[in-house]
């Protein structure tokens, strides 16, 4: 039987690469579309090693409709998982037009091509940033999603609205909007992981780079928040669990008889403070980490974690890996990078 073909935009990126491997192992035929603006070509070789076969890939910018058209014409996909987007909150504040052009523009192109080629099923990479600073935690899918505090977060709000608008227009589009919390970790093999360009924007790669001696120290931004230890709280989910959520979403939407759009939180349902993450890493790596407390960082949300009940009930998905697992795998990846 022919395997369903799934285009994966940003398929060589951190979450995309892990999802491509899970797709391959779950009976799908993934096709990677990536311009390597936030990844490296050697990741394609690593994906091939883990899959036991070469995965078809196109080096294409998703905002270029003529180029992207070629992928649809050649591959005749059964669905799309759309990761391709810029994602640094701080950078988006300084370069908002870059984020609006890429994150919103690429989705406009994609939805046009899906309509033109009769491709119905979409899994969209959204973010918990759409919630901004929530009034209460854990956050459910019905929590207000208009409070985004950065241009990056606002692009996710606009993209979600765009998908809903296309669906409501009478299109046959069916979409699952996955609102990620904080993906961390790496593939347990150590062959795939997070590859930040320059100074990391995210906590865990900064921790592992500091432990590896690539950074002199880690600065924790604020310890005077209204939390148990004064540091910000987030919901950290292992990237492999997150990748498997995409398989569950794809399986569910493929079986759906009517066109639909559904939103799901993808997290662990637990919050961990920055200091908890640092201390857990020190235990896992069996070494001390050089860190200091600095001032609060503009735009940081005090605390947020997910309610995952909807994903468990409807998608039949729940995370199985712990914070320790994620930090162990991230450290293994960092060491093998050397």
Catalytic machinery residues:
152
Q: Are the C-beta atoms of residues 150 and 88 closer than 8 Å to each other?
A: no
| Gap between the Cα atoms of 92 and 84, Å rounded | 15
CA atoms of 319 and 252, how far apart (whole Å): 17
Among residues 313, 329, 299, the alpha carbon closest in space to that of 96 is found at 299
Compute the half-sphere exposure of residue 231: CA atoms within 13 Å on the CB side of its CA.
18
Q: How far is CA 125 from CA 90, 135, 245, 325, in A?
A: 19, 24, 11, 23
> For residues 15 and 243, is the Cβ–Cβ distance under 8 A?
yes
Could you give phi then psi for residue 234, rounded to 5 degrees? Answer: -135, 165
Q: How far apart are CA 186 and CA 29, in angstroms?
A: 22
Q: Where are the alpha helices (DSSP H) in 182-273?
A: 203-211, 239-255
Backbone angles phi, psi at 288, to 5 degrees: -85, 155
- Going by DSSP bridges, is the β-strand pair 272-273/233-234 parallel, antiparallel, or unpaired? antiparallel
Tokens linked to 325: 């697992």
50, 189 Cβ separation under 8 angstroms: yes
DSSP 139: B
Strand partners, 33: 9, 58
Q: How many CB atoms lie within 10 A of CB 257?
A: 6
The kind and range of the H/E element at 47 are helix 42-51
Q: What is the residue whose two structure tokens read 């073909």?
A: 5
């Amino acid at each position: 039987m022919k395997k369903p073909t799934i285009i994966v935009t940003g398929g060589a990126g951190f979450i995309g690469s892990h999802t491509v491997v899970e797709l391959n192992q779950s009976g799908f035929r993934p096709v990677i579309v990536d311009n390597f603006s936030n990844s490296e070509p050697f990741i394609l070789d690593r994906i091939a090693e883990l899959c036991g076969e070469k995965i078809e890939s196109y080096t294409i910018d998703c905002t270029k409709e003529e180029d992207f058209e070629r992928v649809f014409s050649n591959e005749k996909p059964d669905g799309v998982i759309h990761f391709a987007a810029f994602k640094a909150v701080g950078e988006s504040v300084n370069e908002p037009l870059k984020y609006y052009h890429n994150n919103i523009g690429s989705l406009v192109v994609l939805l046009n091509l899906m309509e033109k080629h009769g491709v119905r099923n979409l899994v969209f990479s959204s973010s918990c940033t759409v919630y901004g600073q929530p009034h209460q935690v854990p956050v459910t899918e019905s929590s207000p999603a208009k409070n985004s505090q950065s241009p990056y977060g606002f692009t996710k709000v606009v993209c979600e609205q765009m998908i809903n608008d296309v669906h409501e227009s009478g299109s046959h589009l069916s979409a699952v909007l996955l609102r990620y919390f904080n993906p961390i970790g790496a593939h347990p093999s150590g062959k795939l992981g997070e590859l930040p360009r320059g100074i990391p924007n995210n906590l865990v790669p900064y921790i592992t780079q500091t432990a590896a001696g690539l950074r002199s120290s880690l600065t924790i931004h604020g310890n005077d928040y209204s939390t148990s230890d004064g540091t910000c709280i987030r919901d950290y989910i292992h990237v492999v669990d997150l990748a498997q959520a995409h398989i569950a979403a794809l399986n569910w939407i493929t079986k759906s008889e009517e066109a639909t759009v559904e939103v799901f939180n993808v997290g662990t349902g637990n919050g961990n403070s920055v200091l908890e993450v640092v201390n857990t890493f020190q235990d896992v790596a069996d070494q001390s980490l050089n860190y200091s407390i600095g001032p609060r960082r503009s735009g940081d949300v005090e605390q947020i974690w997910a309610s995952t009940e909807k994903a468990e009930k409807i998608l039949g998905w729940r995370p199985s890996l712990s914070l320790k697992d994620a930090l162990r795998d991230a450290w293994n990846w960092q060491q093998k990078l050397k």
